[in-house]
Amino acid sequence: MTKKRETESFLPLTPAMFHILLALADGEKHGYAILKEVARRTGDKVRLSAGTLYGNLARLESEGLIAESDHRPEVVLDDERRRYYLLTEFGREVAVAEAERMEEALGQARAKKLFRKPKLA
């Protein structure tokens, strides 16, 4: 109950935060990789700048939604100036809660016929 309330206290997440959590959902990444992943996934609709990215990373890290990873890639691939971030268990819960919140809102929009069916590509 307490945990749920704690999770809910983060909702709704800002789009930038949500996309960062999404980017980390399938594995740890460094800053630039997060930025690239978000741009790729949203077809460049969400573009994070360095300031926005690290402002959000700092927030998410201090709230315990993400953490710095000790795990580093192989030495040949590693750039020691880079830090890698991973999604914490708590971060995952918050991301899930946010996705559920969105889904619920989407459902309501559908019920009110406020939803255009996606065109098939």
Partner 1 sequence: MGKEALPFSQRLFRALVRVLPFDFRTNYEGEMEGVFREQQREVEERGGPLGALKLWKETITGIFTTAPREHWQILTSDCSYAFRMMGKNRGFTAVAILTLALGIGANTAIFSVVHSVLLRPLPYPQGQQLIFIRQQETKLGIPDLSFSVKEIEDYRAQNRTLSGLVEYHAMSFTLFGHGDPERVRTGVVSANYFDLFGIQPLLGRTFLPDDEKLGAPPVLLLSYEYWKDNFGSDPGIVGKTFEMNDKVHTVVGVLPPVPQYPNENDVYMATSACPYRSNKMHLEDRDMRMMEVFGRLKPGVTVSQANADVSTIAAGLKATYPKSYPENVGFTSAVSPLQEELTHGARPTLLLLLGAAAFVLLIACANVANLTLARMARRERELAVRSALGAGRSRILRQLLTESFLLAIVGGILGLMLAYGSLELLTDFVGRLTPRAREIQVDSGVLLFTLAAALGTSIVFGTLSALFSRANLTSSLKEGSSGAGSGYQQGRVRSALIVCQIAFSFMLLIGAGLMMRSLFKMQQVDAGIVPQRVLAMRIAFNWSKYNSADKTRVVIQKLLDRVKSEPGVLSAAISSRYPFEPEMITGGPESVSFSFQIEGQHLEPGQAPPVSTYAAVSPGYFETLGIPLKAGRMLADTDSDDLKAPQVVLMNEEAKRRFWPNDDPLGKRVSGDGGEHWATIVGIVGDVREFGLDHAPSPEFYGPQAQGPQPGNLVVRTAVQPQSMAQALTRAIHEVDSQTAVTHILTLEQARYESMASPRVTASLLGIFAALALVIATAGIGGIMALMVSQRVREIGIRIALGARPSSILQMVLGQGMLLAVVGVGIGIAGAVALTGLVKSLLFEVPPTDVLTFGGVGLTLLAAAALASYLPARRAAAVDPNVALRTD
Q: Which residues bind partner 1 (CB under 8 A)?
A: 30-32, 35, 47-55, 57-58, 79, 81-83
Q: What's the CA gap between 99 and 74, in Å, rounded? A: 34
Nearer to partner 1, 32 or 115 (CB): 32
**Residue 53 near residue 31 (C-beta atoms within 8 A):** yes
Q: What is the DSSP letter of 13?
A: P
Nearer to partner 1, 59 or 92 (CB): 59
Q: What's the CA gap between 120 and 22, in Å, rounded? A: 24
| Minimum distance from residue 84 beta carbon to partner 1 (Å) | 11
Nearer to partner 1, 26 or 44 (CB): 44
| Minimum distance from residue 31 beta carbon to partner 1 (Å) | 5
| Minimum distance from residue 51 beta carbon to partner 1 (Å) | 3
Count of CA atoms in the C-beta half-sphere (13 A) of 74: 2
| Minimum distance from residue 50 beta carbon to partner 1 (Å) | 4
Nearest to 93 by CA among 21, 34, 1, 17: 21
- Residue 20, classed as helix, strand or coil, is helix
Nearer to partner 1, 81 or 117 (CB): 81
